[in-house]
Amino acid sequence: MLQSDTTTLSIQLNNFLHRIDCKATIIALVNQYNCSLKRIRRSKNWLLTGQQSQLIEIREQLQQPKMAWIAEAITKGLPKPSFDLVAIALSEPGMTINRLIKETGCTLIEARRAIDKAEGLA
C-alpha cells in the first residue's frame, strides 16, 4: 500500500548554498512545481517543501552531477512503499532473498522472515 502523494513533505538540504552553482536555477525549478525552498533560520541549511508527487518531479529534473545530491536527499526523504513480503514470496515460489531485497528495498532480516513464513518454516 503506497502512501498518498498529497502528503506535504519537507526535505532538509544541508549546506545548500555552498554545494550549488546557481541558487536562482534551483529556485526557478522549485517554483515551477509549486514547491517552496526556504532557509532554515540563519543556518546554512535550507528546507524544500512540497507534495510527494511534486518532489518526485523535481528529483527527475535534477540529473546534472552537481545537483545529484539534491535528488538523493529527496529520495531519502520520500516515504518508503510498504509491501506484503510474504505474499510476494508466496506468489513466486522460486523467489530468492537477494531478489526480494532488490525488488522491494526491504532489509535482509525482513526478506529472510518473509521467505521462511512462505515456506512454512516460521
Instruction: Dump pLDDT digits (tens) for 67-118.
Output: 889 989 998 888 877 788 889 888 988 888 998 888 888 889 999 999 999 8
Residue 2 lies in a domain: no
Judged against a pLDDT cut of 70, whether residue 3 lies above it is answered with no
- Selected residue with higher pLDDT from 49 and 119: 49
Angle between helix 68-77 and helix 52-61 axes, rounded to 10 deg: 160
Number of residues assigned to the chain: 122
Q: Say whether both 104 and 54 belong to one domain.
A: no
pLDDT at position 2 is: 43
Q: What is the grid cell recorded at 32?
A: 515551477
Q: What percent of the chain has pLDDT over 90?
A: 30
Q: What percent of the chain has pLDDT over 70?
A: 94
Residue 25 lies in a domain: yes
- The DSSP secondary-structure symbol of 121 reads -
In the predicted model, what is the mean pLDDT of residues 44-61?
Answer: 91
Residue 1 lies in a domain: no
Question: pLDDT band for position 50 (50/70/90)?
Answer: very high
- Provide the CB-side half-sphere exposure for 5 (13 A, CA): 6
Residue 26 lies in a domain: yes
Q: Say whether both 23 and 42 belong to one domain.
A: yes
Judged against a pLDDT cut of 90, whether residue 36 lies above it is answered with yes
Structural domain boundaries, residue 48: 8-77
Q: How many domains does the chain have?
A: 2
pLDDT at position 122 is: 63
Residue 3 lies in a domain: no
